[in-house]
Structure 1
Amino acid sequence: MFKGLPLLFILLLGTPALAENWPAEQWSTGAQITGPALEALETYAFPTRDDTTRTGVRTDALLVIRDGQLIYERYAGATTADTPHLTWSISKSLMATVLGVAYGEGLFALQDPAVKFYPALKNHPAITLADLLHWASGLDWQEDYEYAPLKSSVVAMLYTRGHADMAAFTAAHDSYAEPGQAFRYSSGDSNLLAAALKNMVGPNRYADYPWTALFAPLGIRHAVWERDATGTFVASSYAYLTARDLARIGLLMARDGRWHDRQLLPRDWVAFNRQPFAGYRAGQDEALPGGHWWLNREVDGAARPWPDAPADTFAALGHWGQALYVIPGEQLVIVRYGDDRDGTYRQNELLKLAIKAFAAKVQP
């Protein structure tokens, strides 16, 4: 049957595919890393910690997965391997991942008007779900934190007049631009997505949907996700995961939405997450927005946000130094939790040092 076929092709037919590493109930461990490069990373990430002044780089957890195996893990402060850590705005990318499962179920299209699923947006009928995922709703939103609390939309939403119904509070804002035309980072846009999901999946499925759709298939057992008084998930801010569990999200994204033999997220959904938003202008944020994920791409002639990391690096990022970095070309997933209050933490520095310590492409 092989007559006339090249010898190399015949040999390849008989060569079994390389086995992929996937976590079971626990992560399998790979060769542990030592040496000067690791020492330099630890010196940066884990300096002597002063919990009284809360100054400097204050890493709570650093965990590294390479080729599906746990190769490094260290904790500090009160955080341990069993601690569901507050992820802050990593929650936004988690909601995008949950929405990816709903997208794969055929429950919505990216260009659907958001009002179709959240009628409180009746005064903003042109906003699409893609616009919300790009933080480009056009709603006049102020994403200021402790530095300008009196003018902050997000502080009002999370803690004062908007906290009971965060999506409705956001929908009541006026517009400053046409939807889809301009990037303005908005925790409100993320909570509108969480409210839209409720009508996509129906009230009977909604309360458990992140668990049944995403967390359980990935083996995530310890996730906590707070809801507001209407029962809507606070997609902007209040998901809690252990570092090991968050790394499962990273591996899913690194492998284009596939988990073992199941395509949990459609490939075109992951491609959308990693596609730069055309309305972004250089300097508007530290990283380039995709579909509720952050990208390490050049824009408007400006250098990559993290120049010492590969261009295919993408991330989920949160307040005070929370980060999930995915570097597909190096088969790396890096989880970093922190409690950084003074702005001294530098993402590029951690990525540069981590890549020196851990990058090693698997040989065929």
Structure 2
Amino acid sequence: MFKRLLLLLMLLVSLPVLAENWPTEQWSSGPKITGPQLQALENYAFAPRDDVSRKGVRTDALLVIRDGQLIYERYAGPTTADTAHLTWSVSKSLIATVLGVAYGEGLFKLQDPAANFYPPLQSHPNVSIADLLHWASGLDWQESYEYAPLNSSVVAMLYTHGRQDIAAFAADHGEFSLPGEAFRYSSGDSNLLSATLKTMVGAQRYADYPWTALFGPLGIRSAVWETDATGTFVASSYAYMTARDLARIGLLMQRDGRWGNRQLLPKDWVEFNRQPFNRFKANQDEAVPGGHWWLNRAVDGAERPWEDAPDDTFAALGHWGQALYVMPSEKLVIVRYGDDRDGSYQHNELLRLALAAFAQKVQP
């Protein structure tokens, strides 16, 4: 009798996992979506492209996963399902996810001084790993792009005198505040994290670590990640991946770091990623920084930035309209690649239209 009860209990415990949809080599397909709401979304996301002026909303890929199944996919321009698309600053959230595996291995703690793992930061000894993840190192970094290239730290790091050793270039900046006191978005902070990972896992493991630790277990086959001349991954900017593969990262995060029966990321790591940086001062329409992810949270008296999306929505965002949106309460993951050059694209508008087309209340 006892053995039968034990067997029944084991079956009941395993049922929720067995009932979930997980991709294998390919995503399984869910119910086909049609109707006027979908048409409204497509009219916004896939307006006729002007490849001369490059103005307007220019979506290269839009892919939607609901409850672990692919329910919508469309491509435009030169992008196809097989294109490993440049993710730009979505790469920052990818390095945070890779670091989460190392955290689960016990290789570092959030409050560890980053200089313990990257000696050139000895001139900034109080900068912690958590500070870097919050973009709150206190380093005097100027994250400006095409509109102010002469004053841009990131342009110098990626394209001129910093490009040979991106982490050393970032570490050589002075301070504008104490570490952990203020948010200042910085591609330099992300590349310093990439350099710390090299020491955490060891030089021999580092070159393959994103693949062995994260991409391989998730079934991601398309990933390419550029390095600088020292072999440091350009974690700020230069990871490439198909939309279908990036969606696997989203599903991992939607399900609190679990992939099938394996807790690939510790739950407290994912919780840290999704908690607002407590020193952040909100500006209108600005997403809230978490642990190298962006959050749809109301903070400091400001309303949440994407008012038509659930407040548990979080995202990885990149230059020219790259986005990975995760909505746990709706069991939705949305990948959007783009080539937006003039500010026409709005996160909230796409999310509003996507929710109208794809949201389906399901039992937890």
Report the counterpart of residue 66 of structure 2 in structure 1: 66
Report if the CA contact (8 A) 2:284-2:305 is conserved. no
1:246 & 1:177 partners in 2: Cα distance?
A: 35
2:77 & 2:141 partners in 1: Cα distance?
A: 34
- 1:96-115 to 2 correspondence within 5 Å? 96-115=96-115
The CA deviation string for residues 247-287 of structure 1, in whole angstroms up to 9 with x for no partner, is 00000000000000000000000000000001100118720
Give SS of 1:336's match.
Answer: strand
Report the counterpart of residue 6 of structure 2 in structure 1: none
Q: How high is the TM-score relative to the length of structure 2?
A: 0.95
Report the counterpart of residue 90 of structure 2 in structure 1: 90
CA gap of 1:13–1:270, structure 2 versus 1, over 3 A, is closer
1:156 & 1:363 partners in 2: Cα distance?
A: 50
| Residue 55, structure 1, aligned to residue 87, structure 2 | no
1:14 & 1:155 partners in 2: Cα distance?
A: 52
Alignment gaps of 5+ in structure 2 = 3-8
Deviation of the 1:301 alpha carbon: 1.2
Alignment gaps of 5+ in structure 1 = 3-9
CA gap of 1:14–1:233, structure 2 versus 1, over 3 A, is closer
Report the counterpart of residue 121 of structure 2 in structure 1: 121
Aligned letter for 1:254? Q
CA gap of 1:13–1:284, structure 2 versus 1, over 3 A, is closer
1:305 & 1:362 partners in 2: Cα distance?
A: 25
- 1:37-52 to 2 correspondence within 5 Å? 37-52=37-52
Report if the CA contact (8 A) 2:136-2:180 is conserved. yes
| Residue 282, structure 1, aligned to residue 282, structure 2 | yes
Aligned residues: 356
Aligned letter for 2:198? K
1:75 & 1:256 partners in 2: Cα distance?
A: 29
- 1:56-205 to 2 correspondence within 5 Å? 56-205=56-205
Give SS of 1:122's match.
Answer: helix
1:286 & 1:233 partners in 2: Cα distance?
A: 27
Report the counterpart of residue 5 of structure 1 in structure 2: none
1:84 & 1:131 partners in 2: Cα distance?
A: 31
Deviation of the 1:361 alpha carbon: 2.3
Give SS of 2:19's match.
Answer: coil
Report the counterpart of residue 226 of structure 2 in structure 1: 226
Q: How high is the TM-score relative to the length of structure 1?
A: 0.95
Report the counterpart of residue 253 of structure 1 in structure 2: 253
Aligned letter for 2:323? A
Deviation of the 1:130 alpha carbon: 0.2
CA gap of 1:48–1:16, structure 2 versus 1, over 3 A, is same
Report the counterpart of residue 268 of structure 2 in structure 1: 268
Report the counterpart of residue 303 of structure 1 in structure 2: 303
1:13 & 1:116 partners in 2: Cα distance?
A: 46
Report if the CA contact (8 A) 2:220-2:245 is conserved. yes
The CA deviation string for residues 146-168 of structure 1, in whole angstroms up to 9 with x for no partner, is 00000000000000010000000
CA gap of 1:112–1:363, structure 2 versus 1, over 3 A, is closer
Report the counterpart of residue 317 of structure 1 in structure 2: 317
Report if the CA contact (8 A) 2:30-2:69 is conserved. yes
1:184 & 1:54 partners in 2: Cα distance?
A: 30
| Residue 217, structure 1, aligned to residue 230, structure 2 | no
Report if the CA contact (8 A) 2:285-2:305 is conserved. no
2:187 & 2:222 partners in 1: Cα distance?
A: 24
Aligned letter for 2:324? L
CA gap of 1:31–1:172, structure 2 versus 1, over 3 A, is same
Residue identity (%) = 78
List 4+ stretches of structure 1 deviating above 6 A: 12-15
Report the counterpart of residue 7 of structure 1 in structure 2: none
Report the counterpart of residue 241 of structure 1 in structure 2: 241
Report if the CA contact (8 A) 2:284-2:302 is conserved. no
Aligned letter for 2:361? K
